[in-house]
Amino acid sequence: MNDELTGQLTEEHWRIPEYALDSLWLETESETLQTAGAVGLFELTVPAQLLTLRWGGGSGPALARLRWQPDNLGWDGSVQIGGFIDALHMTSVERGEEIGVAVIFLGGQPLKPGTQPHPTMHSRHDVPYPVPSFEDPITDAVPESVTYWLAPEDSSLVTLAQDAMMNKLRVHCYGHLAPASGGWHWHFGLPIVMESITLFAP
């Protein structure tokens, strides 16, 4: 698949969880189409340099902003969104035993491809390091939508999310679509597991 129309959503070593097979859509300036199969096959009618990955349908929440590249778009289930935390819901689910879970509602927009919360080992010598910015990584071309994120009730991520909500702080949230083995999809329509969060000063 090395033309400009036929592609694959996922990177070579990652597969879409079975529960999500009928829930992933790609949007360009010209069209919106559903991906197919465990690697997310698709065929555009018009070439596109940037694609928006959506959940549940063409009008569903945006999960990621992806650059066109031959063979595959390199998606590994990661979700990166910047915005405001609108609500926080605490619940418990049965997974052998009852465990407490926080559901964090985030209204925002996908971060630009390649956004990192901090310099990585590969950018160690790319000095001076950039000043943290909420606005620069935001994809303004994609309208705001609401996603919800999962974290254990006793996680420090929940404490930070609550602080951000109460103080109306802007955030960048980073996570992944939950693996099927975790069973989160039996309880939640969009199971994004929160892995990290950046809070920005007012």
Task: Write out pLDDT tens, residues 133-156.
Answer: 899 999 999 999 999 999 999 999
pLDDT of residue 98: 87
pLDDT of residue 76: 97
Do β-strands 24-27 and 50-55 pair in parallel, antiparallel, or remain unpaired?
antiparallel
pLDDT of residue 171: 99
pLDDT of residue 2: 54
For residues 166-191, average pLDDT: 96
Provide, rounded to the nearest whole percent, the portion of the chain with pLDDT above 70: 99
Distance CA 43, CA 195 (A): 32
Weakest-pLDDT range from 46-50, 115-119, 168-172: 115-119
Per-residue pLDDT band at 71 (split at 50, 70, 90): confident
Average pLDDT of the chain is: 94
Per-residue pLDDT band at 192 (split at 50, 70, 90): very high
Distance CA 58, CA 56 (A): 7
Distance CA 86, CA 68 (A): 32
For residues 150-177, average pLDDT: 98
At residue 191, does pLDDT exceed 90?
yes
Distance CA 62, CA 146 (A): 8
Rg of the chain taking only CA atoms, in angstroms:
17
For residues 41-54, average pLDDT: 96
pLDDT of residue 1: 53
pLDDT of residue 117: 78
- CA distances (Å), 167 to each of 136, 149, 161, in order? 22, 19, 10
Bond prior to 143 in cis (omega within 30° of 0)? no
What residue ranges in the chain does DSSP mark as E strands? 6-8, 24-27, 32-34, 41-43, 50-55, 62-67, 78-95, 97-110, 145-152, 170-177, 192-200
- CA distances (Å), 197 to each of 146, 193, 194, in order? 16, 12, 8
Beta bridge partners of 10: 75
At residue 55, does pLDDT exceed 90?
yes
Under 8 Å between Cβ of 91 and 101: yes
- CA 185 to chain centroid, in Å, comes to 16
At residue 168, does pLDDT exceed 60?
yes
Per-residue pLDDT band at 176 (split at 50, 70, 90): very high
DSSP 71-114: S---B-SEEEEEEEEEEEEEEEEEESEEEEEEEEEEEEEEBPTT
For residues 182-195, average pLDDT: 95
Per-residue pLDDT band at 61 (split at 50, 70, 90): very high
